[in-house]
């Protein structure tokens, strides 16, 4: 167990590709931090620098207050779970779990007890003598986690560990990882581009974009107060509606919207905060373009005069509306997120 301190870290790959433009991040002892962001934003690069699989171009990474920049992965005492599991195909599950311990010269009795413990925890005891190829994807994933757990490392590093699993299994394993991490209280860094995974797993969420950190915070904080237009569009599904302030003022008059910070020229509204019917806030008139029933809720795509992009609204159940219907859309004032297109940032 350990803290991880990342200070001014940059990564420039061969050929002058800058993957990380200077990142500062302090990860506390026992914390589960999720790095989330679009493809190519540098999540894996950052994780691999923590692991020691990539060199650090600039800045320092410290594990447990000791700078590890020049240490080999094995000397950093971290364990990594890979997207494709990376189990040794010619070794049995047991040998896979033992390999790292053997290389460290752990005594036999200790190895046996740790393997037994991890196997019990992950319910992989029945497969211990099998080869990885004789396991299903989910079982392989468990073995990969087992290989990390037996080592009792200072930190777990996960690089999209669930993305090769089907949706149902992904959900189960997500819960399991959360449970294990709570139980073992091992500092963890988890990379994903699945925002549901990110929201549900994280103690703290780190949203990355283009090699930079956009926002760090509790998942609910990030959801409730996105710090930039990028985060607003990236976190939340369906994504936040972004309406030009001018258009909004033309429809409802500038009186209602006068208290906004000066830079503001774009207003964001979460689809689930929009309502029909009476209440506080102001009302737009929309025409229903499309209704998508998504099980327990429905997504309405609405066209509003003066606003170019369709607005998305989430309604519980199956509203009694048909396409082409005209509905009043109420936007509560406290659901408005003011942004500036010039800076790309939140203005309040």
Partner 1 sequence: MVENRPFLAVLTHLVLLAGVVIVAFPVYIALVAATHGPTALTSGAMPLLPGGELFANVMQVLTENRRGVAPFWLMAWNSLWMAVIITLGKIAISIISAFAIVYFRFPGRVLAFWLIFITLMLPVEVRIIPTFKVVADLGLLNSYAGLTIPLIASATATFLFRQFFMTIPDELMEAARVDGAGPLKFFRDILLPLSRTNIAALCVILFIYGWMQYLWPLLVTIDPNYYTLMMGVKRMAAVSDADPQWNIIMAAVLLAMLPPILIVVFMQRLFVKGLVETEK
Select from Mg ion, ligand ATP, partner 1, none the partner in contact with residue 79, using the beta carbon and a kind-dependent cut-off of 5 to 8 Å.
partner 1
Q: Of 44 and 241, which has the nearer Cβ to Mg ion?
A: 44
Could you say which DSSP state residue 291 is in?
E
Site for Mg ion in 33-52 (CB under 5 A): 44
Please state the length of the chain. Answer: 348
Q: For the packed helices 93-103 and 108-122, what is the interaxial angle rounded to 10 degrees?
A: 140
Question: 234-260 b/e with 16+ CB inside 10 Å = b?
Answer: bbbeeebbbbbbebbbebeeeeebeee
55 binds partner 1 (CB under 8 A): no
Q: Give the N- to C-terminal CA distance of the chain in Å, as an integer.
A: 38
Q: How buried is 94 (Cβ within 10 angstroms: 0-12 exposed, 13-18 middle, 19+ buried)?
A: buried
Select from ligand ATP, partner 1, Mg ion, none the partner in contact with residue 193, using the beta carbon and a kind-dependent cut-off of 5 to 8 Å.
ligand ATP
Select from Mg ion, ligand ATP, partner 1, none the partner in contact with residue 84, using the beta carbon and a kind-dependent cut-off of 5 to 8 Å.
partner 1
Question: What is d(CA 49, CA 21) in angstroms, rounded to the nearest whole number?
Answer: 13
**69 close to 51: Cβ distance less than 8 angstroms:** no
> Could you tell me which of 186, 197, 208 has the C-alpha nearest to residue 47?
208
Total residues contacting partner 1 by CB under 8 A comes to: 24
* Torsional sign, CA 67, 68, 71, 77: positive
Select from Mg ion, partner 1, ligand ATP, none the partner in contact with residue 86, using the beta carbon and a kind-dependent cut-off of 5 to 8 Å.
partner 1
Nearest residue to ligand ATP, using CB?
A: 44
CB of 74 to partner 1, least distance (A): 4
19 C-beta neighbours (distance < 10 Å), count: 21
Total residues contacting Mg ion by CB under 5 A comes to: 1
Site for partner 1 in 95-114 (CB under 8 A): 99-100, 103-104
The stretch among 47-55, 110-118, 174-182, 228-236 that binds partner 1 (CB under 8 A) is 47-55
44 binds ligand ATP (CB under 6 A): yes
Q: Are strands 32-36 and 187-192 parallel, antiparallel or unpaired?
A: parallel
Could you say which DSSP state residue 142 is in?
H
195 binds ligand ATP (CB under 6 A): no
**334 close to 275: Cβ distance less than 8 angstroms:** no
Select from Mg ion, partner 1, ligand ATP, none the partner in contact with residue 17, using the beta carbon and a kind-dependent cut-off of 5 to 8 Å.
ligand ATP
Question: What is d(CA 177, CA 146) in angstroms, rounded to the nearest whole number?
Answer: 11
Question: What is d(CA 339, CA 336) in angstroms, rounded to the nearest whole number?
Answer: 10
Q: Which of 8, 28, 40, 261 binds ligand ATP (CB under 6 A)?
A: 40
Select from partner 1, ligand ATP, Mg ion, none the partner in contact with residue 51, using the beta carbon and a kind-dependent cut-off of 5 to 8 Å.
partner 1
Select from partner 1, ligand ATP, Mg ion, none the partner in contact with residue 201, using the beta carbon and a kind-dependent cut-off of 5 to 8 Å.
none
Q: Of 51 and 331, which has the nearer Cβ to partner 1?
A: 51
* Torsional sign, CA 188, 196, 160, 226: negative
Q: Are strands 32-36 and 204-209 parallel, antiparallel or unpaired?
A: parallel
Q: Which of 16, 65, 89, 308 binds partner 1 (CB under 8 A)?
A: 89
41 binds ligand ATP (CB under 6 A): yes
Q: Which of 86, 247, 283, 314 binds partner 1 (CB under 8 A)?
A: 86
Select from ligand ATP, partner 1, Mg ion, none the partner in contact with residue 286, using the beta carbon and a kind-dependent cut-off of 5 to 8 Å.
none
Residues that bind Mg ion (CB under 5 A): 44
Residues that bind partner 1 (CB under 8 A): 51-53, 72-74, 78-80, 82-84, 86-90, 99-100, 103-104, 133, 147, 151
């Amino acid at each position: 167990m350990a803290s991880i301190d990342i200070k001014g870290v940059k990564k420039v790959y061969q050929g002058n590709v800058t993957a990380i433009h200077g990142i500062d991040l302090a990860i506390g002892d026992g914390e589960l931090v999720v790095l989330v962001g679009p493809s190519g934003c540098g999540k894996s690069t950052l994780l691999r620098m923590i692991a020691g699989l990539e060199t650090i171009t600039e800045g320092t990474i410290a594990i447990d207050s000791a700078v590890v920049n020049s240490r080999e992965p094995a000397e950093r005492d971290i364990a990594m779970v890979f997207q494709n599991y990376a189990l040794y195909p010619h070794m049995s599950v047991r040998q896979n779990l033992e390999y790292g311990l053997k290389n460290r010269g752990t005594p036999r009795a200790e190895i046996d007890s740790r393997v037994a413990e991890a196997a019990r925890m992950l319910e992989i005891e029945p497969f211990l003598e099998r080869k990885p190829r004789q396991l299903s994807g989910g079982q392989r994933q468990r073995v990969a986690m087992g290989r990390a757990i037996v080592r009792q490392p200072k930190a777990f590093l996960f690089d999209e560990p669930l993305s090769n699993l089907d949706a149902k299994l992904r959900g189960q394993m997500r819960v399991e990882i959360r449970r294990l991490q709570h139980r073992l209280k091992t500092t963890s860094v988890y990379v994903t581009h699945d925002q549901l995974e990110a929201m549900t797993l994280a103690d703290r969420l780190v949203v990355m974009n283009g090699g930079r950190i956009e926002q760090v915070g509790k998942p609910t904080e990030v959801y409730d107060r996105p710090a930039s237009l990028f985060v607003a569009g990236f976190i939340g599904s369906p994504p936040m509606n972004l309406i030009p302030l001018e258009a909004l003022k033309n429809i409802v008059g500038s009186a209602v919207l006068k208290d906004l910070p000066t830079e503001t020229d774009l207003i964001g509204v979460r689809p689930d905060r929009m309502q029909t019917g009476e209440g506080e806030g102001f009302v737009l008139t929309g025409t229903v373009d499309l209704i998508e029933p998504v099980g327990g809720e429905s997504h309405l795509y609405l066209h509003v005069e003066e606003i170019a992009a369709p607005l998305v609204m989430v309604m519980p159940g199956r509203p009694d509306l048909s396409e082409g219907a005209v509905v009043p859309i109420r936007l509560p004032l406290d659901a408005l997120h003011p942004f500036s297109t010039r800076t790309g940032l939140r203005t309040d």
